[in-house]
Amino acid sequence: MPAKTLHISSSPHISSGLSTEVIMKNVVWALIPVAAFSIYSFGINALLVILTAMGSCLLTEHVLCKLSKKDSTISDWSAAITGLLLGLTLPPIFPLWMVLCGGVIAIALGKFAFGGLGYNVFNPALVGRAVLQAAFPVAITTWYPAFLDNRFAAISSSLLTFPFMTPVFDGTSGATPLSAFKFDHITTDGMDLALGLVSGSTGETSAIIILLSGLYLIVRKMMNWRIPAAILGSVFVLSGILYLIDSQIYPNPIFMLFSGGLMLGAMFMATDMVASPITSLGVIIYGAFIGIMVVVIRVWGGLPEGVMYAILLANALSPHIDKMIQPRVYGTHKSTKRG
């Protein structure tokens, strides 16, 4: 007799017909130009960082699936995306052994500890990066100038640091536009930022390419456009207000929008389907919260960049946002809702 089971699941119950696999595959395609530009600007170092991150995530996923006696889920592309995103958020000369650890942490702690794909509370790639940031704060804030002449010929020595040893960075380091602003009050030209002619994490530099990749997914209805719109909108408005109050202290809104990991975060990190709210209004609150937190951390915080923490914080809030804006059940009153 065939076993009959009743599947009980939370909303949404109506799907658009797109399977996880198709969406994931499209996200990978959309990220390919971003990765290609990062390899073009940072050379062979960026390629190695991205490949290591992906390999580490895929391997961890496979091993953990086997350990928990489930079918391997590496073919659904989600681990590949986690790895790709993790690689894109790391500095181009980040030691590979640290990248490897980051991938393991992202999948094991960010995804499997919560129950695997569909259950993760936080964006796994950002969990991996957050742990790396806390563990190796010096390595993760040592940047590398873009478009060096020998970038396709030589591998940076720090990349090949022996596992568990401190990397030694050669002299060529470059400040990111955000740290240059935070510590020396130098504003980078908006055009350079948009085109990606600056230093930064491997995949965050070219705002325009990230924007176009995101638009591709939005047009194909594989990404909720409200999230990036709410994030970028609130960053623009809030930093615009601050700029109008005192243009000497506060950076201009264009600089805010195009610098750091904001574009990459808004388009590809905050839009993680599992870790963001479900309702349209909830998504807008979620996006606005991220945008405000980014500006607050960048302007008043101790760190130059805050996109990662803003998104992780909003991830934690998203189930509560959904709960908060639930419409009242007809016939009940606010006061008697609990009873």
Partner 1 sequence: MKESITASRDESASTIKMLRAMVGIGIICALLIVITYDGTLPRIERLQAEALEKAIFKVIPGIVKTKTFQLDKNNTFSEAKEKEKSAQLVYAGYDENDQLIGVAIEASGQGYADIIRILYGYDPESQKVIGFYVLESKETPGLGDKIEKDSNFLANFISLDAKLSDDLSKLKNTVIPVKQGAKVNEWEVEGITGATISSRAIGNILDASTNKLLPLIYSNKELFSTKSKEE
Partner 2 sequence: MGNQIHDKANTGFLSSLKGSPSTDEFIKGLWRDNPVFIQVLGMCPVLAVSNTAENALAMGLATAFVLLMSNILVSSLRNFIPKQVRIASYILIIATFVTITDYAIQAISVELHKSLGAFISLIVVNCLILSRAEAFASKNSIGKSILDALGMGLGFVFALFCLGAVREIMGNGSLFGFPIFPSTFQNWIVMILPAGGFFTLAIWLLIFNLLKQKKSIA
Closer to partner 2 at the Cβ: 131 or 281? 131
Closest to partner 2 by CB, 136 or 289: 136
Closest CA relative to residue 25, chosen from 84, 76, 89, 83: 76
Q: Count the residues in the chain.
A: 339
Interaction between residue 42 and partner 2 (CB under 8 A): no
Burial of 37 (0-12, 13-18, 19+ CB in 10 A): buried
**Quick one: which of 91, 123, 88 has its CA closest to 106?**
123
Our finding on whether 141 is near partner 1 (CB under 8 A) is: yes
* CB atoms inside a 10 Å sphere around CB 249: 10
Extract long-range pairs of 300-306: CB within 8 Å, 24+ residues apart. Answer: 304/176, 304/178, 304/179, 304/181, 304/182, 304/183, 304/260, 305/176, 305/178, 305/179, 305/260, 305/261
Identify residues 90-109 at the interface with partner 2 (CB under 8 A): 98
Contact range with partner 1 by CB under 8 A, out of 86-94, 136-144, 151-159, 186-194: 136-144
What, of partner 1, partner 2, none, does residue 141 touch, CB below 5 to 8 Å by kind?
partner 1
Q: Shortest Cβ distance from residue 174 to partner 1 (Å)? A: 13
Does 172 bind partner 2 (CB under 8 A)? Our answer is no
Q: What's the min distance (Å) between Cβ of 301 and partner 1?
A: 10
Rule CB under 8 A: which of 300-339 touch partner 1?
302
Q: How far is CA 146 from CA 32, 45, 94, 143, in A?
A: 19, 11, 14, 9
Partner that binds at residue 302, options partner 1, partner 2, none, CB closer than 5 to 8 Å by kind? partner 1
* Interaction of residue 183 with partner 1, rule CB under 8 A: yes
Kindly tell me which residue out of 7, 16, 164, 184 binds partner 2, with binding defined by CB under 8 A: 164
> In the complex with partner 2, which residue's Cβ is closer, 85 or 98?
98
Which residues would be at the binding site for partner 2 (CB under 8 A)? 98, 131, 134-137, 139, 161, 164-167
